[in-house]
Amino acid sequence: MGSNKEPNQGRKEFIKKGLLAGGGLLVASELIKWKPMIEAVKATQHTEVLPLVETVSTEDVVIRMQKELHEALKKPVEEIHWIMVIDQKKCVACDACTVGCSAENGLPPGVVYRPVIKEEIGTYPNVSRRFTPRPCMHCENPPCTQVCPIGATYKRPDGIVSIDYDKCLGCRYCLSACPYGARSFDWGEYHTENTPEVMPYELEPTFEYGDEKVRKGNKSPIGNARKCHFCIHRLQNGMLPTCVTTCIGRATYFGDLNNPNGLVASLIGSPRVKRLKEKLGTKPSVYYLT
């Protein structure tokens, strides 16, 4: 039996050595093939310094709007025409503008200055969605001002349609006249009124139109028509409207139409631009890029 194993052992050793030798030759041939490339890499190592990539300076569009706002505020109010441009392709319906507006202006239940209208277009499977933020249009020819019996709602020289809360009777004629549904009525409700007590944050003063107001009892703005005012109180202090700064998609632009070199003036020159219900002749100051 011992004699039978020895030839087998010899054959195994021979095959093993042959495989090792063949493998060595294969590795050697691969090294020879790659040697020029390896040498080229070694030659350039630590000798060539790659040029630094130049950084592209891109200014945030909000910064540009802020600068243009400050420039506009240096002019007489009669020479300013505030407008807003909303890019519907950039709007993602996150409602950040709606929430930001509500917090900024202390809005009660049922009062919304800037809802985002969400539409589904088409039939499955060919379906798309369209989002339309809808603030007050601040029309050049506003129907709401024409029906107010005591002139409590009026158009300022800078194009902003305002409401004098101390004059407003709460007749709601303006709510009916607005073709955009941009006005709400303050019924005096609170978000926390069905809890043991109204939370203090709902009684904090707000500064709409630059006036300090506290929603309490039957005092204005309770019992008044209310709407978007382009955050006048912020504009007066050199700040953009809250909906502009809270828009995560940078879909909302704001500025002075009378600045020919301004951002908004260039945007409304786009073939994508439109205004809502233009046939009514209201001439809205809010433009949409579709």
pLDDT in tens, 21-31: 555 555 566 65
Residue, of 9 and 286, whose pLDDT is higher? 286
Number of domains in the chain: 1
Residue, of 17 and 243, whose pLDDT is higher? 243
**Alpha-carbon Rg for the chain in angstroms:** 35
Cα(277)–Cα(139) distance, integer angstroms: 11
Cα(35)–Cα(15) distance, integer angstroms: 30
Cα(151)–Cα(145) distance, integer angstroms: 7
CATH code at position 248: 3.30.70.20
What is the pLDDT at residue 54? Answer: 61
Give the whole-number percent of the chain exceeding pLDDT 90.
Answer: 78
User: What does the pLDDT average to over 204-222?
Assistant: 92
pLDDT in tens, 113-166: 999 999 999 999 999 999 999 999 999 999 999 999 999 999 999 999 999 999
Domain contains 31: no
Q: Could you give the C-alpha distances from 162 to 1, 35, 132, 208, 264, in angstroms and in order?
A: 113, 80, 23, 10, 22
How would you write 148-198 as a 3-class SS string?
CCCCCEEECCCCCEEECCCCCCCCCHHHHHCCCCCEEECCCCCCCCCCCCC
pLDDT in tens, 247-278: 999 999 999 999 999 999 999 999 999 999 99
Q: Is 120 helix (H, G, I), strand (E, B) or coil?
A: strand
Domain contains 25: no
Mean model confidence pLDDT for the chain = 89
Is pLDDT above 80 for 43? no
Q: What pTM was estimated for this model as a whole?
A: 0.79
pLDDT in tens, 170-198: 999 999 999 999 999 999 999 999 999 99
Give me the domain span that covers residue 171. 61-289
Domain contains 224: yes
Domain contains 238: yes
Q: Among residues 175, 194, 92, which one has the least CA distance to residue 136?
A: 175
User: What does the pLDDT average to over 92-103?
Assistant: 97
Domain contains 56: no
User: What does the pLDDT average to over 228-238?
Assistant: 97
Domain contains 21: no
Domain contains 54: no
Other C-beta atoms lying within 10 Å of the C-beta of residue 29:
10
Domain contains 273: yes
For CA atoms 86, 89, 93, 96, give the dihedral sign: negative
